[in-house]
């Protein structure tokens, strides 16, 4: 894997943007200005970016309730996302979606999804479409260690295997499905990836807190799927730094666990150490990105706060393309 | 005009539209049939005989046999629709909506709205429904009311071959998710079908007959039963305005209201239990909007509040019959 300077800076920028977006939301939610459920992606950035950086705008992804990271990595407008989460008229989805349903079809982001396991069959549909179009595109679904237990995910894996379509099942194992551990909830003799193997798929495994390891594994997988070998899966071992939702007291965490995963399993720190150690980028390069990202998030929050609320007269608009 | 039955109208429309538009794909259980067997593909062509020849003509990328996985069928259709295709997903029995409901209700119905009107989801779900073949509690239900209640879906119920063609063509050329209900006892109904391009606009009820004394509103098989009831009361000089809704979402409220304003008497016939039903919905709508025109309380002819039984005589007792419709007509006429 040879990433050039711009690609490295871009990957870092996107991971940092996700991190700061989420860190800021964690603070802003406490003000009470943001309603509803928000599920933060902080800690898992290397997965979204390590994967989406290798996709084109015409490859489709289907995301989860913890979708901000996938959105940013796939190219959704950060300010539009912030406005959406604030429920503003200028939001990516005009304030109809909120955190849990953000989508931007123009960048191939088919939607976050409030239903755990809701997305996997849709990625198979995207893959069916991709195969017909014959341009080597893929349909990617992100699922966690929660969604991996949904019947829809099993159905989708089987359908993808029997139809041999270019669907990719990304399992982000952050070890908690809501408030229950994967050690309890994922019944398997080995791991989640082995379930995909049980369906006859080739599966990869990688450290999802390491951008380079995730990237390299996905490079292999993507080459395999784009070559027309049918679906494939990858399980990434990762961490979520916050609760299932904002406000989750996280009484299920071990003593010192949150401090430990932040200290030992931080993809941004690992990235910085790797690229500066190899003299690919300097601390100054990365610090400059940090400053740009913080400024962007600051602007995004300010603009979201200042944006108008949606017009109540539009409450029933856009239910149909045409209804008569 | 060609004479054909509803099954033939559906098959020929699928062939014609898939030929016209290469984005249309078909997926479902045994829509090809025979895959993985000694008989080989196309051993079946759909258990309802509604997809013969499609696989051979359009190939396995566009005509896809699926495992028995209703959530994956509907979900894949939803994802393909978001990716530029026009999927037709077949549910072998409408009752299996229960298995796949999330993908219909929380997913395809809501995409456009949730995503701020920035996308469309042109998927057609074909659902085979209805009692009358002793298929009992889990293979006979008319679940159109439930789906009619869901914003974002259109709900279509053809009762003639011409409408089967016109409504299916309209569904395949529109940009919204359409629930296309095919009554299992109506596949053999014959009639004239216009040649060439024929689209039937949604939300336009079919005036089956005009009689002026009582308005009868029905859909699906209940239209045919209502015609029998209308024939029976005609012998006593009673004239029925019979409306075939064609689509329950959108609903042709104007046609219903216009007729009730003339007749002052309404009977709604619905092949499903009464609570939160289409009959209740229409009776409420008319009561609210045409109260001063009404000369009698609206009558609902529905099934009982029970699942659908197996035994032939019990099933007959469950389904609204021409006799029950006739009684309701006479009841609203007698009201003073």
| Tokens found for residue A45 | 């950035």
Residues in chain B closer than 8 A to A115 (CB atoms):
102, 106-107
| Tokens found for residue B303 | 């099934």
Q: Domain spanning B2-193: which superfamily?
A: Thiamin diphosphate (ThDP)-binding fold, Pyr/PP domains (3.40.50.970)
- CA–CA distance from A81 to each of A103, A299, A301, B126 (Å)? 9, 12, 10, 36
**Can you state the angle between helices A45-52 and A5-29, rounded to 10 degrees?**
140
CA distance A290 to B73: 44
CA distance B313 to B22: 47
* pLDDT in the model for residue B42: 82
- The whole-angstrom distance between residue A201's C-alpha and the CA centroid of its chain comes to 22
Distance from the A296 Cα atom to the nearest Cα atom in chain B, whole angstroms: 24
Q: Where are the beta strands (DSSP E) in A164-317?
A: 167-173, 176-177, 180-181, 202-207, 232-237
The residue among A310, A286, A268 whose CA lies nearest residue A23 is A268
Please name every residue paired with A176 in a beta bridge, in sequence order, or none if there are none: A181
- Report the predicted TM-score, pTM, of the whole model to 2 decimal places: 0.96
Q: Are B88 and B44 a contacting pair, CB within 8 Å?
A: no
Residues in chain A closer than 8 A to B71 (CB atoms):
121, 151-152, 155
Q: Give the residue from chain A lying closest to B254, CA to CA.
A: A324
Which of B114, B122, B202, B203 should we substitute to test contact with A (largest number of A Cβ atoms within 10 Å)? B114
List residues of B with catalytic annotation.
139
Domain ranges of chain B: 2-193, 206-334
The residue among A210, A175, A172 whose CA lies nearest residue A66 is A172
Which of B25, B76, B115 lies nearest to residue A121, judging by beta carbons? Answer: B76
The ipTM, to two decimals, is: 0.94
Q: Which of residues 51-70 of B touch A (CB under 8 A)?
A: 61-62, 64, 66-67, 69
* pLDDT in the model for residue B46: 85
The residue among A163, A235, A168 whose CA lies nearest residue A195 is A235
* pLDDT in the model for residue A2: 85
Q: Give the residue from chain B lying closest to A314, CA to CA.
A: B116
* Domains along the sequence of chain A with CATH: 5-264+280-307 (3.40.50.970)
Q: Which of residues 163-182 of B touch A (CB under 8 A)?
A: 174-176
Is B251 an interface residue toward A (CB < 8 Å)?
no
Distance from the A192 Cα atom to the nearest Cα atom in chain B, whole angstroms: 20
CB contact under 8 A, A131 and B72: no
Do the domains at B2-193 and B206-334 have one common CATH topology? yes
Residues in chain A closer than 8 A to B68 (CB atoms):
none
Intervals of chain B under pLDDT 70: none
Q: Are A55 and A276 a contacting pair, CB within 8 Å?
A: no
**pLDDT tens per residue across span A191-219:** 999 999 999 999 999 999 999 999 999 99
Residues in chain B closer than 8 A to A133 (CB atoms):
84
Continuous segment of H or E residues that includes residue B26: strand B24-28
Please name every residue paired with B4 in a beta bridge, in sequence order, or none if there are none: B191
Which of A62, A65, A128 should we substitute to test contact with B (largest number of B Cβ atoms within 10 Å)? A128
- CA–CA distance from B141 to each of A47, B108, B136, B311, B315 (Å)? 45, 22, 8, 15, 12
> HSE (CB half, 13 Å, CA atoms) of B20?
12
Is B103 an interface residue toward A (CB < 8 Å)?
yes
Distance from the B171 Cα atom to the nearest Cα atom in chain A, whole angstroms: 12
CB contact under 8 A, B103 and A121: yes
Q: Are A61 and A70 a contacting pair, CB within 8 Å?
A: yes
3-state secondary structure of A65: coil
3-state secondary structure of A160: helix
Intervals of chain A under pLDDT 50: none
Residues in chain B closer than 8 A to A200 (CB atoms):
none
CATH number listed for the domain at residues B206-334: 3.40.50.920
CB contact under 8 A, B67 and A101: no
CA distance A13 to A313: 39
Q: Give the residue from chain A lying closest to B250, CA to CA.
A: A324
Is B118 an interface residue toward A (CB < 8 Å)?
yes
CB contact under 8 A, A92 and B201: no
Q: Are A173 and A66 a contacting pair, CB within 8 Å?
A: no
φ, ψ at A212 (rounded to 5°): -70, -35
Q: Is A151 left (phi over 0), alpha (psi -120 to 50) or beta?
A: alpha
Residues in chain B closer than 8 A to A121 (CB atoms):
71-76, 78-79, 103
Residues in chain A closer than 8 A to B117 (CB atoms):
94, 317-318
With b meaning 16 or more CB within 10 Å and e meaning fewer, what string describes A284-314? ebbeebbeebeebbeebbebbeebeebeeee
**In degrees to the nearest 10, what's the CA dihedral of B15, B20, B25, B28?**
-20
Q: Give the residue from chain A lying closest to B106, CA to CA.
A: A115
Distance from the B82 Cα atom to the nearest Cα atom in chain A, whole angstroms: 7
Distance from the B84 Cα atom to the nearest Cα atom in chain A, whole angstroms: 7
Is B75 an interface residue toward A (CB < 8 Å)?
yes
**In degrees to the nearest 10, what's the CA dihedral of B196, B200, B206, B208?**
20
């Amino acid at each position: 894997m040879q990433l050039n300077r711009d690609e490295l800076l871009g990957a870092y920028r996107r991971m940092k943007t996700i991190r700061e977006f989420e860190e800021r939301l964690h603070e802003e939610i406490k003000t009470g200005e943001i309603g509803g459920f928000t599920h933060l992606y902080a800690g898992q950035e290397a997965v979204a970016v390590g994967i989406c950086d290798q996709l084109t705008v015409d490859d489709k992804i289907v995301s989860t309730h913890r979708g901000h990271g996938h959105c940013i990595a796939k190219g959704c407008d950060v300010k539009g996302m912030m406005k959406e989460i604030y429920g503003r008229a200028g939001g990516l989805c005009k304030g109809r979606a909120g955190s849990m349903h953000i989508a931007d079809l123009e960048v191939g982001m088919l939607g976050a999804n409030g239903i755990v396991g809701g997305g996997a069959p849709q990625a198979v549909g995207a893959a069916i479409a991709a195969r017909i179009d014959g341009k080597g595109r893929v349909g990617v679904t992100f699922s966690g260690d929660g969604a991996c237990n949904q019947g829809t995910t099993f159905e989708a894996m089987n359908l993808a295997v029997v139809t041999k379509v270019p669907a990719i099942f990304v399992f982000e194992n952050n070890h908690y499905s809501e408030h229950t551990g994967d050690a309890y909830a994922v019944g398997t003799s080995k791991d989640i990836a082995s379930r995909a193997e049980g369906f006859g798929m080739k599966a990869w495994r990688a450290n999802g807190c390491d951008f380079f390891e995730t990237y390299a594994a996905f490079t292999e997988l993507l080459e395999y799927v784009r070559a027309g070998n049918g679906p494939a899966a990858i399980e990434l071992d990762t961490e979520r730094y916050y609760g299932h939702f904002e406000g989750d007291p996280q009484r299920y965490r071990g003593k010192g666990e949150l401090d430990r995963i932040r200290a030992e399993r931080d993809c941004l720190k690992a990235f910085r150490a790797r690229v500066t150690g190899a003299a690919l980028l300097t601390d100054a390069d990365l610090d400059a990105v940090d400053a740009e990202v913080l400024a962007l998030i600051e602007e995004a929050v300010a603009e979201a706060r200042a944006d108008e609320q949606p017009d109540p007269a539009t409450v029933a608009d856009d239910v149909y393309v045409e209804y008569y | 005009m060609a004479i054909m039955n509803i099954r033939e109208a559906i098959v020929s429309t699928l062939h014609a539209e898939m030929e016209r538009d290469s984005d249309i794909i078909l997926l479902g259980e045994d829509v090809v049939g025979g895959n993985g067997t000694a008989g080989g593909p196309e051993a079946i062509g759909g258990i309802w005989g509604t997809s013969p020849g499609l696989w051979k003509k359009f190939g396995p990328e566009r005509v896809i046999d699926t495992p028995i996985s209703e959530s994956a069928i509907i979900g894949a259709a939803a994802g393909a629709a978001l990716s530029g295709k026009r999927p037709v997903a077949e549910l072998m029995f409408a009752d299996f909506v229960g298995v796949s409901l999330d993908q219909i209700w929380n997913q395809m119905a809501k995409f456009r709205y949730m995503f701020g009107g920035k996308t469309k989801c042109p998927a057609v779900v074909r659902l085979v429904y209805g009692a009358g073949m002793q298929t009992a509690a889990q293979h006979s239900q008319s679940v159109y009311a439930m789906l009619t209640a869901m914003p974002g879906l259109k709900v279509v119920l053809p009762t003639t071959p011409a409408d089967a063609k016109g409504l299916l063509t309209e569904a395949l050329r529109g940009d919204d998710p359409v629930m296309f209900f095919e009554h299992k006892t109506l596949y053999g109904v014959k009639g004239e079908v216009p040649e060439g391009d024929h689209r039937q606009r949604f939300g336009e009820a079919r005036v089956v007959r005009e009689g002026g004394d009582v308005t009868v509103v029905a859909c699906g098989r209940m239209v045919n039963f209502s015609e029998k009831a209308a024939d029976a009361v005609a012998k006593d000089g009673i004239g029925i305005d019979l409306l075939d809704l064609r689509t329950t979402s959108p609903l042709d409220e104007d046609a219903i209201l216009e007729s009730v304003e003339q007749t002052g008497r309404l009977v709604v016939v619905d092949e499903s239990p009464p609570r939160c039903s289409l009959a209740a919905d229409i009776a409420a709508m008319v009561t609210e909007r045409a109260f001063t025109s009404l000369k009698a309380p609206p009558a609902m002819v529905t099934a009982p509040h029970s699942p659908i039984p197996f035994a032939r005589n019990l099933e007959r007792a469950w389904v609204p019959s021409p006799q029950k419709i006739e009684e309701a007509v006479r009841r609203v006429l007698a009201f003073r």
